[in-house]
Copies of this chain bind each other. A is one copy, B any other.
């Protein structure tokens, strides 16, 4: 069971902004900090802004920041937004599905119910809950 890299990076952006002292960051800063592709981050940040999880501001003093308090951003909502076409198994993808059992198999419903339970647990937590210790805060703000 795996979330996409896209979701992983989306969550990392939000976690970072939550612990950054001034609540602001640039894409280059995030790319350097996590040592991940700037191009990937551009897409991730664009999507997070579209979904109103973050604000972006252009210009010299621009950057990105959380669009609302971290305790108002539920993790399940972020994951649902970054994985809208979740494909737990092949039968969830209408175009690629080749399983001949699909019309009469109940497994898809069972997997879907489990998926909803997964998101339901994630929605009990917000981005504010990801900051477990003060050392994380220090780690980012020292850089």
List A residues at the B interface (Cβ < 8 Å): 1-5, 7-8, 11-12, 15-16, 33-36, 75, 79, 83, 86-90, 98-101, 103-107, 109-111, 113-115, 117-122, 125, 129-133, 135-136, 139-140
Give A133 Cβ to nearest chain B Cβ, in Å. Answer: 5
Take A75-B110, A118-B115, A129-B110 as given contacts and tell me if A139 and B101 are in contact as well, using a CB distance cutoff of 8 Å.
yes
Nearest residue in B to A33 (C-beta to C-beta)?
Answer: B100
Stoichiometry, copies per complex: 2
Say what secondary structure dominates the interface of chain A: helix
Q: Give the contacting residue for A8; candidates B90, B110, B129; CB below 8 A.
A: B90
Chain B CB within 10 A, most for which of A98, A107, A120: A107
Chain B CB within 10 A, most for which of A8, A83, A99, A110: A110
The answer to whether A117 and B115 have CB atoms under 8 Å apart is no
A111–B36 CA distance with the chains assembled, in angstroms: 21
Chain B CB within 10 A, most for which of A3, A75, A129: A3
